[in-house]
């Protein structure tokens, strides 16, 4: 999935969650982002994308 996201982003920046979903095939981006933020805040993760230590 990460490779597809990077390829599509290189072609053209994403304009919306809908555009992201159509071009990558990944559904529910807002929910996935929210889950990741909660995970980063509540557990130790190796890489933080949305939060700081």
Please indicate, yes or no, if residue 38 is contained in any of the structural domains.
yes
**DSSP string for the chain:** -HHHHHHHHHHS---SHHHHHHHH----HHHHHHHHHHHHHHS--SS-SS---
Please indicate, yes or no, if residue 50 is contained in any of the structural domains.
no
The average pLDDT across 15-33 equals 95
The model carries a pTM of: 0.69
Q: How far apart, in Å, are the Cα atoms of 17 and each of 3, 20, 32, 44?
A: 18, 5, 11, 27
pLDDT of residue 1: 81
Provide the residue range defining the domain that includes 33: 2-42
Please indicate, yes or no, if residue 49 is contained in any of the structural domains.
no
Residue 14 pLDDT level (bands cut at 50, 70, 90): very high
């Amino acid at each position: 999935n990460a490779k597809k996201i990077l390829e599509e982003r290189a072609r053209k920046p994403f304009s919306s969650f809908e555009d992201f979903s159509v071009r990558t095939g990944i559904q529910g981006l807002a929910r996935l982002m929210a889950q990741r933020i909660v995970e980063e805040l509540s557990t130790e993760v190796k890489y933080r994308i949305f939060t700081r230590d």
